[in-house]
Chains A and B, each alone.
Chain A
Amino acid sequence: MPAASTPLSPPALTEPAEVDAATAASRPVIGRRAAHTSLRGVLGDSLRMFDPRHEIRQPVMFTVWVLFLFILVLTLFPRAFPDIAASYNPAYYLAISLILFLTLWFSHLGSAIAEAQGRAQADSLRQIRGGLRARRIQGDGAAVWTPSQELKLGDIVEIHAGEPVPIDGDVTQGAALVDESMMTGESQPAVRESGGDKTSVLGGTQVIQGTIRVRISATQGHSFLDRLIQLIENSGREPTPNELALSVLLASLTIALITVIGTFVYLADFTGVVRVNIATLVALFVCLIPTTIGALLPAIGISGINRVSKANVVAKSGKAVEAAGDLDVLILDKTGTITIGNRLAVQFLPAPEVPLAELLSAAMLTSSLDDTPEGKSIIRLAARRGAPAQRLEPGSYDLLPFSSERRMSGIRLKNGIEAFKGSVAAIEAYGAALPPELRTATVEASRQGMTPLVIAMNRRALGVVLLKDVVKPGIKDRIRELKTMGIRTIMCTGDNRLTARAVANEAGVDEFIAEAKPETKLEVIQREKAKGRLVAMSGDGTNDAPALARADVGLAMNSGTGAAKEAGNMVDLDSDPTKLIEIVSIGKQLLITRGALTTFSITNDVAKYFAILPAIFVTSAGVVLAGIQSFNVLGLSNPNLAVLATLLFNALVIPLLIPLALTGVRFRPRTAIDLLRRNLVVYGVGGLVSAFVGIKLLYLLLAYLSSSPVAQAAAAGVAHFLPIGGL
């Protein structure tokens, strides 16, 4: 790269230079790249989250935090609280403080990992942004190397092959191949040229071929790259409406349990029925409040956004991701989303008394030099049907390409043979009469949405090749999945009704709109929204912008215009419209994860009650009350160990579920009632059973450990060092 001070000769737009492949290839892509999260960063963050200003944002965990400090103080300064003297047991109190600490810490770990994953994505983008500069063309025509942050709106810069685009702009002169993989993940370089609709270049992308002049259209801090970074950093921080609603429920349950356990402390004491142990009641309280879901709630939200990023989609808000789970209607473009976008040959129909081989040979002839996808597909199909390849000597033919007068294309060999393919009308106008059998076949084919092309040789119609808009592989299954999830699909196309219906039937969409005009999508969205449905669409053109803005989820293609990207609430960097379907799943997964963990939290509580209640109802004589003994189904004979095992289970469940919170629960498209039944069994019944089993196992483990001489020595040590003497 030339030094900044090197004066340039007055720039002349040169021929494409050598591509500096090394610099072009090694750029990171935001989503695809494995999330790099530093262990030390996560640990540091998880410890920093003990800050009360952070804790207070999560009411459930904040109560745990307060109680942790409370028990810690009791543990360390028991003498200050003569009331607890009777039940004070230093090792027990210390163990409870420790487990409470772990509970909090595990919860922080979940959030810290999720945040780190999000941050890593922003960081890799920031790397791209740093230190970009370009030749600024001054008024006198001289070029001066200028850092991107000093470029102003309207400045003209010149970019040569191998150089990065400093900041967003529009090509005013020249054409170039631009590697946008760092922004879009698309490995194919894109053509950017002055005039037309391919003028916009993004800061951070790399010119790999050609030289262009670009007028700067964004200032530092306002470019697309900056906004991406901002979005990735901010999304998920603000709780979404649904998250807030769940928080309200969890906080209310917590407050209710504060009342329950808070009054119980005094009631139990006063009635004299049982000997109250503060640490045990704190343990019971912490076990009962929904700590599992409370601890993982922030992580679930952040990781939902991260999963969207991983799919190489930038969501402008967490709300949009949630809305994706709620969608009722998807508006899909036919071309590019449902179909590959080209009509391909699917069938040859020879005229009566014409051998298939003759038709194939003629078809080959008409298309052997036809570079269109249609032409290529005819060659492919003919070859598959057994037609030998034909080689035409250069100069032995005249190519008769498609023209608007002729409305057919073909070839005329020097030996006088001419072969054409074209629509029925064009071929008849050319003078080849169509046998009635073929005419019926073409009408029938048109009805099925196929395009019949008649192959004629020397004014004789040999047969028909049928072209069809081919539905993308796999799209049918995706649409069926959407239907199972209760999402209606509407296909929009500019094609006529016949073609549209055929594709719609084949793909299995619920509804199609043919002969759609640019404003049709907006009309459909307004119609569906008026019925109270949530609608999503994808789009890339400026004329899609109003519809993108109106849709509940508007997925803009990154290859599209700025207006479209501005209007949509998500931008797909891969410019793949089918990604809408993926986003729906991510949105649903996000909500399901929340619901599943809430259910898990609640059913866990049942088992915890069975484990702890007997431990609480130990009379001053050290006996469990008869009426309560029936709760002790787990047969936990040592009350203190029962409490510790339960509390430990409560804490350990959090890290065990962090992976689930980060990746989301497994989601397969099913009907709602199936999903409910399945998740109730897995997370409801699972929560119940796992808690019973888990607590029992932990109890056995603790019982084994506590009987070991080491543990007893440790307990004695604790008792020695904690200031209980004199009580």
Chain B
Amino acid sequence: MFPLASLVDVALLIALVLAIAPWFGAYLGRVYLNRPAFGDSLLTPIESWIYRLLGTSPRQTMRFKEYAFALLLTSGVLFVWMYLILTLQSGLPGNVLGIPNMSWDLAFHTTASFLTNTNFQHYNPQSSLSLWGALLSLQVALFLSAGCGLSVVAAFIRGFTRKDGTLGNFYVDLVRTMTRVLLPLSLLASVLLVLLGLPQTFTTYVTAHTLGGGAQTLYLGPVASWQAIDLLGTNGGGWYAANAAMPYANPSAASNLVETGLMLLIPLSTPFAFAEIVRRPGEGLPFVGTILAVLLVAIGLFLLFQGGPNPSLAGLHGLTQNSLGFPTFGMESRLSLSESSAFQVVSIYTNTGANNLAIGSLNPLAQGVLLFGMFTQSTPGGVGTGFGMLLVFAVIAVFVGGLMVGRTPEYLGKKVGKEQMRWSAGLLLLHPALVLVPLAIAILGGFVVFSGGIASHAYLFTSVLYEFTSESANNGSSLGSLADNTLFFNLVGGVVMLIGRFYPMIGMLAIGSIFAEQEVLPPGPGTLRTRSATFTIYLTLLLIIISALLFLPVLALGPFAQLGF
């Protein structure tokens, strides 16, 4: 039987984040309401200076097209900048390891990957990325991509509160996200992580002499500050190839707890920020409920599958055993089963994609649990966009549920009509298309070669499925078993990530702006009260059923089929 005591880790983690989230969410809400807040005296002058530099001002408010254009322009500029750095990084100073320029297709994939908050790595950081190549291009994107996600969702939420069709000012949102949220928080988190033992240095490596007399290169770098924003912004691209499974990135149970908490902090605070922005206390609770219900069930199932026997490992001898006495492989022995599991499930469900174990050697059903998190994309999903998707699900739930109470559905006093449904339903449709079509092309086009028995077919299928799911959901994790630094996977993957990121963002802005053009209707007893347990349960079930409906066949073909006959 599973030792329940080990679940204390999970409980502690959730309690910790939930203690901070309401408070931090309210603060986050105030940031996007441009209300006076802590730090104004220091930050307002700096922000005003940046606005002047950008030629904008908080008084300038944007409509849907302007906001979307500003988002795409900023992302476009960042894309070109990152691509140039990566393809020219060998010439940058401090390249003591002599890292060469990236190939054009790998640079495309990597740029798309970091720009879209996916941080899928088709490269090995220690052999493909120079120190300043990483810091000037990728580290910038760690901040900005998360910032774009939060800005867009703030604009989306504002749509519920406005009547004039405007959504706010993208540049102001982005700058304030940086100055008020991401920079100070990551500074704080970096210090905390340094205290917990993560390296923070510009030295790229030291050579250690082992007891056996050999020499070992120990790669170093500004790991703490990288890890801080990497997790806080649900990016997930590790400084090390092994990501958080590398002891320097996650040395102890304490750092594991802090890092897991960092991933959850903003996604779990956003529902509270939502309630703050729409000025309806408690309106974020259905989302918190939905997120926690799915997340906790996922952690539970993951522990159940991973704690038990792993059919994929049947017949292999000499493996270490997990705490329940079953052979295990690819799990950190530094961390307990529940610590690893909590980190991993949270990482995937927040679409961070950081690893502290090898997903490829997990129990197939545990892989299925992780895949499901990327199917929903919204429990809680990545910073900003995850909540945005959850809000899109809520709009659909309100629509069908609203019908069931006999009124043209309305959400927070805004009618849900055909136009919002067109975008919302379109966003539901996009994700399976972005996963399944490339998957079919990859397999039918012979870009993956099958061999062996059914189980190994199913394993390979799972790898490709996982690859595209991870890219479409902007997650970034992978099974690690696919040779994916190829022209095909770089190009197709890059395109999938870009569409999977920007189409939903534009959709969210569009839905927001449609709401923003409507009057706010006063609530009455005849309107569906979304702040209720009934709606929470309903939203949760709808989300699970729709995600399962769309992905069950491939889930069966992959993880389930891996179980063999």
Instruction: Give residues in A with beta carbon < 8 Å to B.
Output: 241-242, 244-246, 248-249, 251-253, 255-257, 259-261, 263-264, 266-268, 270-274, 288, 322, 325-326, 328, 483-488, 531-533, 587-589, 591-592, 594-596, 598-599, 602-603, 605-606, 609, 613, 616-617, 619, 623, 625-628, 631, 667, 671-673, 675-677, 679-680, 683-684
Interface string of B513-544 (1 = CB under 8 A from A): 00000011110111111001011001001100
Query: Does B292 reach chain A (CB closer than 8 Å)?
Result: no
Residue of B nearest to A270 (CB): B443
- Does the CB pair B557–A675 fall under 8 Å? no
Q: Is the CB of A263 within 8 A of B436?
A: yes
Closest 4 CB pairs of A and B: A486-B526, A595-B403, A588-B406, A252-B425
Across the interface, do B405 and A676 meet the contact criterion of CB distance under 8 Å? yes
Asked if A260 and B553 make an inter-chain contact with CB atoms under 8 angstroms apart, the answer reads: yes
Chain A residues with CB under 8 Å of B554's CB are 260, 264, 267
Query: Which of chain B's residues have a CB closer than 8 A to the CB of A252?
Result: 425-426, 428-429
Residues of A within 8 A of B525 (CB): 483-486, 671-672
Q: Is the CB of B450 within 8 A of A592?
A: no
Considering the complex, give the chain B residue whose CB is closest to the CB of A605: B549
Q: Which residues of B contact A680 (CB under 8 A)?
A: 401, 404, 534, 538
CB-defined contacts of A587 to chain B, threshold 8 Å: 406
Q: List 30 A-B contacts (CB under 8 A).
A: A242-B417, A252-B425, A253-B546, A256-B432, A256-B433, A259-B432, A260-B550, A267-B461, A271-B557, A272-B454, A273-B457, A273-B461, A322-B408, A325-B406, A487-B526, A589-B406, A591-B402, A591-B403, A591-B408, A595-B401, A598-B400, A602-B400, A617-B560, A627-B364, A672-B526, A673-B529, A675-B404, A676-B404, A676-B405, A680-B538
| B557: chain A residues within 8 A (beta carbon) | 264, 267-268, 271, 273-274
Q: In the bound complex, how far is the Cα of B527 from the Cα of A485, in angstroms?
A: 9
Q: Are A267 and B556 in contact (CB under 8 A)?
A: no
B535 lies within 8 A of A328 (CB):
no
A595 touching B432 in the complex, CB below 8 Å, given contacts A625-B563, A676-B405:
no
Does residue B279 face the partner (Cβ distance < 8 Å to A)? no
Contact partner, A256, options B407, B526, B550, Cβ 8 Å: B550
Chain A residues whose CB sits within 8 angstroms of the CB of B565 once the complex forms: 619, 623, 625-626
Q: Is B561 positioned at the interface, with any CB of A under 8 Å from its CB?
A: yes
- Shortest CB distance B306–A (Å): 16
- Are B522 and A627 touching (Cβ within 8 A)? no
Q: Beyond A588-B406, A672-B529, is A263–B563 a contact (Cβ under 8 Å)? A: no
Q: Residue B88 at the A interface, CB < 8 A? A: no
Least Cβ–Cβ distance between A714 and chain B, in angstroms = 32
- Within the complex, what minimum Cβ distance (angstroms) separates A193 from chain B? 44
| B524 with A328: CB separation less than 8 A | yes
- Chain B residues in 8 Å Cβ range of A619: 454, 565
Contact of B443 among A271, A274, A684 (CB under 8 A): A271
The winner among A251, A274, A591 for most chain B CB atoms within 10 A is A591
Cα-based distance from A533 to B408 in the complex (angstroms)? 13
| B552 in contact with A672 (CB, 8 Å) | no
When the two chains form their complex, are residues B563 and A272 in contact, meaning their CB atoms are under 8 A apart? no
Q: Please list the residues of chain B having a beta carbon within 8 angstroms of any beta carbon in chain A.
A: 364-365, 396, 399-408, 413, 416-418, 420-422, 424-426, 428-429, 432-433, 436-437, 439-440, 443-444, 450, 454, 457-458, 460-461, 519-522, 524-529, 532, 534-535, 538, 541-542, 545-546, 548-554, 556-557, 559-565
> Is the Cβ of A595 less than 8 Å from the Cβ of B522?
no
A288 and B549 contact, CB distance less than 8 A: yes
Instruction: State the CA gap A589–B437 with chains docked (Å).
Output: 41
B519–A532 touching, CB < 8 Å: yes
CA distance A599 to B401 in the complex (A): 8
Interface centre among A248, A255, A588 (most CB of B within 10 A): A248
Q: Once the chains are docked, how many angstroms separate the CA of A328 from the CA of B521?
A: 10
Q: Which residues of B have CB within 8 Å of A253? A: 425, 428-429, 546
Residue in B364, B418, B524, B549 whose CB lies within 8 Å of A245: B418
Q: Are A588 and B407 in contact (CB under 8 A)?
A: yes
Known contacts A253-B425, A486-B527; is-contact A625 B407 (Cβ 8 Å): no
Which B residues are CB-close (under 8 A) to A606? Answer: 545, 548
In the bound complex, CA of A439 to CA of B234 (Å): 81
> Min CB distance, B81 to chain A, in Å?
35
Given A245-B416, A322-B408, A628-B560: A270 touches B432 (CB 8 Å cut-off): no
Question: Contact check: which of A270, A326, A532 meets B450 at CB < 8 Å?
Answer: A270
Q: Which of B538, B542, B565 has its CB near the most chain A CB atoms (within 10 A)?
A: B565
In the bound complex, CA of A667 to CA of B542 (Å): 24
User: By the criterion CB–CB under 8 Å, are B545 and A603 in contact?
Assistant: yes
Contact between B545 and A260 (Cβ–Cβ < 8 Å)? no
Complex contacts, A259 vs chain B, CB 8 Å: 429, 432-433, 436-437
Residue in A251, A255, A592, A628 whose CB lies within 8 Å of B404: A592
- Answer whether A241 and B404 are a contact pair too, CB < 8 Å, given A273-B461, A627-B563: no
Expressed in whole angstroms, the Cα–Cα distance for A246 and B557 within the complex equals 31
Query: How far is it, in angstroms, between the C-alpha of A599 and the C-alpha of B534 when the chains are bound?
Result: 15
Partner of B401, one of A613, A626, A676: A676
User: Are A263 and B522 touching (Cβ within 8 A)?
Assistant: no
In contact, A609 and B526 (Cβ under 8 angstroms): no
Q: For the complex, what is the distance from the CA of A147 to the CA of B402, rounded to whole Å? A: 52
Residue among A255, A260, A531, A596 with most chain B CB within 10 A: A260
B406, A673: Cβ atoms under 8 Å?
no
Find chain B residues with CB under 8 A from A273 CB.
454, 457-458, 461, 557, 561
B549 touches A672 (CB 8 A): no
- Nearest CB of chain A from residue B424's CB, rounded to whole Å: 8
**A617–B559 alpha-carbon span in the complex (Å):** 13
Minimum Cβ distance to chain B for residue A297 (Å): 12
User: Which residues does chain A contribute within 8 Å of B521, judged by CB atoms?
Assistant: 328, 532-533
Contact B440 A266 (CB under 8 A): yes
Cβ contact of A672, chosen from B413, B443, B528, cutoff 8 A: B528
- How many whole Å from B243's CB to the nearest CB in chain A? 28
The answer to whether A627 touches B528 (Cβ under 8 A) is: no
Q: Flag if A271 contacts B534 (CB, 8 Å).
A: no
What is the CA–CA distance of A673 and B530 in the complex, to the nearest angstrom?
A: 9
Q: What's the Cα separation between A322 and B413 when bound, in Å?
A: 18
Q: Which listed residue (A245, A676, A683) contacts B528, Cβ 8 A?
A: A676
B377 to chain A, nearest CB (A): 14
Residues of A contacting B437 with CB < 8 Å? Answer: 259, 263
Contact B439 A248 (CB under 8 A): no
Given known contacts A249-B396, A272-B454, A595 and B404 CB-to-CB distance under 8 angstroms: yes
In the bound complex, CA of A592 to CA of B526 (Å): 13
**Contact of B564 (CB < 8 Å), options: A325, A533, A625, A631:** A625
Q: Which of B401, B458, B532 contacts A271 (CB 8 A)?
A: B458
User: B421 near A245 (CB under 8 angstroms)?
Assistant: yes
- Residue contact B563 to A626, C-beta cutoff 8 Å: yes
Chain A residue nearest to B460 in the complex (CB) = A271
Tell me the complex Cα distance, A667–B406, Å: 9
Please state if B550 and A257 are interface contacts (CB–CB under 8 Å): yes
**In the complex, are the beta carbons of A599 and B457 less than 8 A apart?**
no
A627: contacting residue among B408, B417, B519, B556, CB under 8 A: B556
Task: Report the minimal beta-carbon distance from A108 to chain B, rounded to whole angstroms.
Answer: 24
Contact A626 B564 (CB under 8 A): yes
How far apart are A83's CB and chain B's nearest CB, in angstroms?
A: 14
Nearest opposing residue in chain A for B403, CB measure: A595
State A635–B406 Cα separation when bound (angstroms). 39
> Are B556 and A617 in touch, CB under 8 angstroms?
yes
Known: A256-B429, A325-B408. A532 touches B396 (CB 8 A): no
Residues of B near A589 (CB, < 8 A) are: 406
Residues on the B chain within 8 Å of A241, using CB? 408, 417-418
Are B407 and A531 within 8 A (Cβ)?
A: no
Closest approach, in angstroms, between the C-beta of A685 and any C-beta of chain B?
A: 10
Question: CB-CB < 8 A to B545: which residues of A?
Answer: 602-603, 605-606
User: Shortest Cβ distance from B553 into chain A, in angstroms?
Assistant: 5
Q: CB-nearest residue of chain A relative to B430?
A: A256
Tell me the bound Cα distance from A533 to B521 in angstroms. 7
A533 touches B522 (CB 8 A): yes
Min CB–CB distance B371 → chain A (angstroms): 14
- Neighbouring B residues of A245 by C-beta, 8 Å: 399, 416-418, 420-421
